[in-house]
Amino acid sequence: MHEFRYDPVQLPASAQILRSDVRTFIAEEVASGAFTPSRNSWNTFDADFSRRCGERGYIGMRWPKQYGGHERSALERYVVTEELLAGGAPVGAHWVADRQSGHQILRYGSDRAKQTILPKIAAGVCFFSIGMSEPDSGSDLAAVRTRAIQVESGWKISGTKVWTSGAHRTNYLIALARTGPKEEDRHAGMTQFIVDLSHPGVTVRPIYNLYGGHDFNEVVFDEYFVPDDMILGGVGMGWKMVTGELAFERSGPDRFLSTYQLLLESIRAIGPDPDDRSANEIGRFVAHLATLRRMSTSVAGMLERGAQPIVEAALVKDVGTTFEREVPETFRHLIPTEPTLGEGGSYPELLGMTILRAPGFTIRGGTREILRGMIARGLGLR
């Protein structure tokens, strides 16, 4: 049986200095009117804000200085990201590049990719999307049909990606495409490509979401040319990299802080002297949150030590997203209000926006069911 464990971590003193640095930054930003925390989520796209994050050294924190990084530890990065999220900062523009794409390029990219792209990501001026899902390939990623055919000095990609968050505003995406025949091993023959969205042969069309927002897109490739040195990790390695990437994606504070602004505003609305029922629910959420943070920092500590806490990370996401979804469902009882369409400028709008975003929490980055299947595998059940 797999034993999962959440060893305690000690945050280094440097992390505490960074923490107050980020708090000062956020306070200044809010004071200057750059953003309003309750209006944001970690998907909120604000290129100017991301550039200022880059200037302060908050992006690419773990990467070598040679590529514009800051050679910080996983725990230092953890503290910066959790402070940005807790502060309601609009980190959506650089989030994916910082959390996963940059990391992949650093590990698997060509020299040219590393040299031309990473410094721009770290500077907060270059943004990424994820091109995995397709109309017929969601949870079953091995079913991708987007195909890349070898041509002179590169590959030509044709096919359609969907739900591609931010692709109408980002600079690049990493596309998973089929490069070999489907063999007995369904996971063979897939490759990841770095796609420059400003080049010809790729069209981005909006797919409006549940709340009428334009976050994700359909991305259509029509013989889009990718030079050989924009392949990640070699032909046929796509599957291995995609699954590795997801592990990184799973255990961060973004997996339990998606409804934190609603929690805060609800506590504010209930006031300093809550009745028993409200106090009870607030206390319950705080207990969950404190525990999740402990689990999540512990996973960051394990990643730092080079461990592969796959089950631990998956558990953080499953428990964390379950918690996120309970927050609006509980406070709507405690603060009777009619949720309202809008941008989160008032409590009814914040509640409304959270309710409409909530279904995505347990779908994006691998559905709850897929995640539970992975946990079960880790527990030795399949």
Ligand X SMILES: Cc1cc2nc3c(=O)[nH]c(=O)nc-3n(C[C@H](O)[C@H](O)[C@H](O)COP(=O)(O)OP(=O)(O)OC[C@H]3O[C@@H](n4cnc5c(N)ncnc54)[C@H](O)[C@@H]3O)c2cc1C
Q: What residues numbered 214-233 form the site for ligand X, per CB under 6 A?
A: 216
State the binding string over 87-126 for ligand X (x if CB under 6 A, else -). Answer: ----------------------------------------
Angle at 348 between CA 217 and CA 263, to 5 degrees: 85
Task: Enumerate residues 6+ apart whose C-beta is below 8 A from 6.
Answer: 294, 295, 298, 299, 312
Q: Which of 19, 47, 51, 138 binds ligand X (CB under 6 A)?
A: 138
Rounded least distance, CB 358 to ligand X, Å: 10
Q: What minimum distance in Å lies between the beta carbon of 319 and other proteins?
A: 4
- CA neighbours closer than 13 Å in the CB half-sphere of residue 217: 20
Nearer to ligand X, 160 or 367 (CB): 367
* Rounded Cα gap, residues 65 and 121, in angstroms: 13
Tokens of 57: 């050294």
By CB under 6 A, tell whether 356 contacts ligand X: no
- Of 183, 184, 273, 338, which one interacts with other proteins (CB under 8 A)? 273
Q: For the CB of residue 288, give the shortest distance to ligand X in the complex, in Å.
A: 22
* C-beta pairs of 219-223 under 8 Å, 24+ apart in sequence: 219/129, 219/131, 219/160, 219/161, 219/162, 219/164, 219/167, 219/173, 220/159, 220/160, 220/161, 221/146, 221/157, 221/158, 221/159, 221/160, 221/161, 221/175, 221/195, 222/158, 223/156, 223/157, 223/158
What separation in angstroms does the CA of 10 have from each of 38, 110, 162, 298? 31, 35, 41, 9
- Supply 157's token pair: 């990609």
Among 165, 171, 296, 297, binds ligand X (CB under 6 A): 165
Site string for ligand X, 314-353 (x = CB under 6 A): ----------------------------------------
DSSP 4: P
Residue 315 binds what, of ligand X, other proteins, none (CB under 5 to 8 Å, by partner type)? other proteins
Q: Find which of ligand X, other proteins, none residue 132 binds, CB within 5 to 8 Å per kind.
A: ligand X
Q: Min. distance of Cβ 305 from other proteins in angstroms?
A: 14
Provide the mask over 316-345, with x wherever binding to other proteins is found by CB under 8 A and - wherever it is not. Answer: --xx--x-----------------------
> How far apart (Å, rounded) are the C-alpha atoms in residues 152 and 132?
25
Q: Point out which residues bind other proteins (CB under 8 A).
A: 1, 4-6, 8, 11, 19, 82-83, 86-87, 263-265, 267-268, 270-274, 276, 278-284, 286-295, 298, 311-312, 315, 318-319, 322, 369, 371-373, 375-376, 379-382
Q: Point out which residues bind ligand X (CB under 6 A).
A: 129-133, 138-139, 163-165, 216, 360, 363-364, 366-367, 369-370
